[in-house]
Amino acid sequence: MKVISFDVDGTVVDGKFMDRFWNELIPKYYSKKHGIDYSEALEFVKRCYDEVGDKDLRWYLPDYWFKRFQLDIELKDILEEFKDELKIYPDALEVLEKLKGRYKLIAVSNAVREIMDFELSELSEFFWRTFSCPSDIGDIRREPEVYLKICRILNLHPSKIIHIGDHPYFDFEVPTKAGIKSILIDRRGENGHIRSLREIEKFIDL
């Protein structure tokens, strides 16, 4: 193994950050724009999300939703609005510190580049490469080919990478089909190989 790959949301960065972005701030702006009650706006927005589904590239594109909801806002302004709420998991910081210099570390995300860079702004020193799949690959991690494209860019065989993430499909099922050893983290302890990134020592040498 030469490279350790990390998902971002829910793995390195607390997933509540993006949950609030999609399920609180967007409905709030929709409510203000169209003059309707927030609860009504929230119900409508979530219904639209479900209609598209999280295996569709559009689901991950803020610009698509801004246009669809007729919102006159800029992504950078929304991110700036609640930047103080961005939380890095303590175990992630600890493990990245241990791995730095011993392995090449990459980050792979379904978030667009602007969001990914924002989330990793304090962690950039740890990562050799970062891949925003929508922005850099033109797709999300719904098929093994996306991971294989990343392998080709890095000039690495899939067997030389371990991927760690919290989504059973995007972070385990798909990379496994690509021939990448994958570790599923579930911090609730309900469904996964590990509950904390500190436990990856079971799979690699820390």
What's the burial of 1, exposed, middle or buried (CB within 10 Å: 0-12/13-18/19+)? Answer: middle
Please indicate, yes or no, whether residues 124 and 193 belong to a single structural domain of this protein: yes
What integer pLDDT is reported at residue 144 of this predicted model?
A: 98
Write out the chain in H/E/C secondary structure: CCEEEECCECCCECCHHHHHHHHHHHHHHHHHHHCCCHHHHHHHHHHHHHHHCCCCHHHHCHHHHHHHCCCCCCHHHHHHHCHHHCCECHHHHHHHHHHECCEEEEEEECCCHHHHHHHCCCCHHHCCEEEEHHHHHCCCCCCHHHHHHHHHHHCCCHHHEEEEECCHHHHHHHHHHCCCEEEEECCCCCCCCECCHHHHHHCCCC
* Domain that residue 56 falls in: 16-84
* Identity of the amino acid at 199: E
% pLDDT > 90, the chain: 89
Show which of 84, 100, 115 is a domain's final residue. 84
**pLDDT single digits (tens) 55-98:** 999 999 999 999 999 999 999 998 988 788 899 999 999 999 99
Please indicate, yes or no, whether residues 189 and 101 belong to a single structural domain of this protein: yes
What integer pLDDT is reported at residue 206 of this predicted model?
A: 62
**pLDDT single digits (tens) 130-142:** 999 999 999 999 9
**pLDDT single digits (tens) 177-202:** 999 999 999 999 998 999 999 999 88
Please indicate, yes or no, whether residues 79 and 108 belong to a single structural domain of this protein: no
Per-chain mean pLDDT for the chain: 95
Sign (positive/negative) of CA torsion 178, 183, 188, 189? positive
Show which of 84, 115, 135 is a domain's final residue. 84
Please indicate, yes or no, whether residues 61 and 144 belong to a single structural domain of this protein: no
Query: Which domain CATH number covers 146?
Result: 3.40.50.1000
